[in-house]
Chain A
Amino acid sequence: MNHAFDIVIVGAGPAGLAAACAAAESGQRVAVLDDTPWLGGQIWRGEQSRPQLSQAQRWIERFRRSGATLLDRTSAIACPQPGVLLAEHPDEPREIHWQRLILATGAREMFLPFPGWTLPGIVGPGGLQALVKNGWPVDGKRIVVAGSGLLLLAVADGLKKHGAKIVSVSEQAPWSRVLGFGPALLSHPGKMLQGAGIKLRLLGVPYRCGVWPVKAEGDEQVRRVTLTDGRNTWTEDCDLFACGFNLVPNVELPLALGCALSDGFVRVNEWQAASVENVYCAGEPTGIGGVDCALVEGRIAGCAAGDRHAPAKALFAKRACWHRFRAALARAFALRPELKSLAADDTLICRCEDVTLGRMKQFNGWRDAKLQSRCGMGPCQGRVCGAAAKFILGRGMESVRPPVFPARVSSLITSGTSASNPNPNQTTT
């Protein structure tokens, strides 16, 4: 089915909602598409059905009043030509035509391989939070939380509220850096209160900095996690291990559109415009900055795409403030070099194709390794191993091929051309 809009926004998380509101308030025909059936993206998952955060409620409500169209359960999979997105929907393939496009594709958890990391029961903190919000029971379960980032605290807090026994929360960044993050919190009262509130509720749970996992063990399921602070090493028993190392931006669709990156993030100008004409980008793909940063970038992108430059400009100072927060976040939670040597040569790095780190290291670069070992060629399309390889070996995915997400073969076909009488003139090999 064909859909045509003035402004199309990919992603209904905070950046996408804010962009949609700002664009629709400019009087444009606006649509937001999202893989999920709800508004709010991964970060506000569950808010639509069970409201908890007033900020999320305000934006969801504002979006509903904005007049923008929501195309839910719609995953953008390819960009067959300028001005067209091809998307998969459970009922039908969709072709979405746009004059201007705002990419608010968010971020995903970053996983690093260590011995045992593929055992059942080891999940990303964000993934576990999503499972629990969907009703997966964790009552009485012993959970070790480790990795990096503010998400660890938020997730541990949520799990505890659902009756889980949080054995410990380990942040890989050293105390000195995490404390250095304090001033950034202070300049953002909302964040500070959130942080403090979480800490209060977590009383009784050890939150340690400068501690990271080195190994997980178990039979059919994770049973023990070995942690270290660089000097001492110890083991903690658990039923589940929530482990993730900050976030990786979802830049696959921007790359497929030809947007230039710098340092792994989509490069944008002051109007949030990417290097490709009429394409804008907001939120995590431009830098991991959290909800408030995403909201202000989304609003600027929405205004700019709707040719309302004055209100966009009025938000520049606020954005600059959140960009300082974003920079502080990156400094505080930078991954320590020791994490590069967690994986042994026999540790899997590509779970889809069962490729070990040792095998990957035999080859000269990502493409050579990919061709010879098939790493990154499975259904995750290199999303997990590509980010890990980039961190560990300094090499990773170089290009994106359609579809951006696995999609039904029939969804790759556009309505534009007739298939009749294809005139094949030779057989093939």
Chain B
Amino acid sequence: MSQTRDIIIVGAGIVGVACAMECARGGLKVLVLDRGPIGGGTTAAGMGHIVVMDDSEAQFALTHYSRSLWHELRPQLPEDIEIEVCGTLWVAADDEEMAEVHRKAKNYGQRGVRVEVLNSADLEKAEPNLRRGLAGGLRVVEDFVIYPPCAARHFLEQARKHGAEVRTGVHVKALRSDGSVLLADGSSISAGRCVNAAGPWSPALTPGLPVRKRKGHLVITDRHPGFVHHQIVELGYLKSAHSTGRDSVAFNIQPRKTGQMLIGSSRQFDADDLTVDQAILDRMLKRAIEYLPALGRLSAIRAWTGHRAATPDKLPLIGPSTVSDRIWLATGHEGLGITTSPGTGRLLADLLLGRKTEIPSAPYAPARFANGGAHHE
């Protein structure tokens, strides 16, 4: 059968399995390989926030498209994906940040994203546990929260229904320019094309990719239902957006359907190990407590870390690689892989099958980094 396999997807994280689902639906014969369990890497470590973002036009296009695909999928998603349509609340600490709320509100509003501007009093009412005296906020009504590992499993089940094959516990060593995949045991599997969807580990399989590991920390609490009602994110990052600091933290909290609070976030380059970095954890939690003074009293049950796959321009790599037109990429999603997985899967399948894409694919084309992997921030 191997001679008739169209595509091997390396990586069963949410991006890889979304690609598998869309490719299999499109009639391609798909094989998915992963060294660990389904969604056991970055997918398991992340928050699961489905969010529209507008740092750039291309980021907006992909997140907005993907969120609409998520909403289309919703009726068929099993219960364990724990969808909670809590919306995102962007919090403005002062007038300068409030100006950003108005800019964002206008930008989102013009493009059909439902938003509400909250003044200081509205914010207090919406989230009584936030500290007093904040300037206001922006509620993005249709953003939501999911539990990513189960979403990955569901996408893979859909792929299987359309004939995809899955093998876990398989160590891939390299993707080759003839479309085949070399395994660590020396054997290889052939296919028409292969897709590197290995997220932070993708450069190890395709040397030269402009993808770097960016470490993040999260803390989850015991069940404290109602402590916050929205995924709340600070807008304060804008003030120091051009900071040269290698490490950063930002206040970001998510209410889980279970009543647990998931507290983030941090970003670190050049931190390849997965141990909890106490100095970063200190900063991250202090930042969160600055916004939510009562948070310190909640019971924390676990802290962990994970790696995002970061690219220099904060956009993913989707499409044929510059190495070979038989090696394709679906990686580099940084902190937005859960959100943009359905859009990525759809774009990749459309490109592979020669269908018209629903949004322009050029901004995510790997060819934009044609000079290879020396491209770093």
Contacts and interface: CB of A to CB of B under 8 A. Distances in A.
A415 to B, nearest CB: 9
Contact of B44 (A363, A371, A373, A411): A371
A372 B80 CA distance: 8
Given A365-B37, A423-B245, A406 B299 contact: yes
A401 B278 contact: no
A26 interface: no
B39 interface: yes
B279 A409 contact: no
Contacts, number: 158
A378 B299 CA distance: 12
Given A368-B38, A372-B149, A424-B250, A416 B279 contact: yes
Contacts of A424: 234, 236-237, 240, 248-250, 287
Interface string A60-81: 0000000000000000001011
Nearest to A380: B301
Contacts of B211: none
Contacts of A414: 278, 282
Nearest to B50: A429
Interface stretch (B109-117, B131-139, B289-297): B289-297
Contact of B264 (A411, A419, A428): A428
Interface stretch (B174-182, B197-205, B332-340): B332-340
The CB with the most chain B CB atoms within 10 A, among A401, A411, A416, is that of A401
Given A371-B149, A426-B250, A408 B233 contact: no
A402 interface: yes
Given A409-B219, A409-B298, A423 B243 contact: yes
Given A419-B286, A423-B240, A428 B300 contact: no
B346 interface: no
A401 B302 contact: yes
Contacts of B283: 417, 419, 422
Interface in B281-337: 281-283, 285-290, 295-304, 314, 335-336
Given A364-B37, A371-B44, A425-B241, A379 B281 contact: no
Interface in B223-275: 233-237, 240-243, 245, 247-250, 252, 263-265, 267
A373 B335 CA distance: 24
The CB with the most chain B CB atoms within 10 A, among A372, A379, A403, is that of A372
State which size class the interface on A falls in: 35 or more
B150 interface: yes
A381 B301 contact: yes
B243 A425 contact: yes
A378 B288 CA distance: 22
Contacts of B36: 367
Contacts of A417: 278-279, 282-283
Contacts of A428: 47, 216, 233, 250, 252, 264-265, 267, 335
A193 interface: no
A180 B234 CA distance: 66
B301 A408 contact: no
A410 B289 contact: yes
A339 interface: no
A377 B80 CA distance: 14
Contacts of A377: 302
B245 A412 contact: no
B51 interface: yes
A367 B40 contact: yes
A402 B303 contact: yes
Contact of B221 (A368, A372, A409, A411): A409
Interface in A5-23: none
B107 interface: no
Nearest to A426: B237
Contacts of A367: 36-37, 40
Given A379-B299, A424-B250, A401 B304 contact: yes
Nearest to A77: B300
B51 A409 contact: no
Contacts of B336: 429
A9 to B, nearest CB: 23
A425 B283 CA distance: 14
B96 interface: no
B222 A379 contact: yes
A276 interface: no
B279 A419 contact: no
B300 A409 contact: yes
Contacts of A401: 276, 302-304
Nearest to A411: B300
A426 B288 CA distance: 15
A413 interface: yes
A5 to B, nearest CB: 20
A262 interface: no
Interface string B72-103: 00000000100000000000000000000000
Contacts of A368: 37-38, 40
Interface in B24-45: 36-40, 44
B300 A412 contact: yes
A139 to B, nearest CB: 35
24 contacts: A80-B276, A80-B278, A368-B37, A371-B37, A381-B301, A381-B302, A408-B298, A409-B288, A409-B296, A409-B300, A410-B296, A412-B219, A412-B285, A413-B286, A417-B282, A419-B286, A422-B250, A424-B240, A424-B249, A425-B248, A426-B267, A427-B234, A429-B49, A429-B252
Given A403-B302, A424-B236, 18 more contacts: A364-B169, A367-B36, A379-B299, A379-B301, A401-B302, A401-B303, A403-B300, A408-B300, A409-B298, A409-B299, A410-B285, A413-B286, A414-B278, A423-B245, A424-B250, A426-B267, A427-B234, A429-B339
For the complex of A and B, the 9 pairs showing the least CB-CB separation, nearest first, are A419-B286, A410-B296, A428-B265, A80-B278, A368-B37, A424-B250, A371-B149, A423-B245, A424-B237
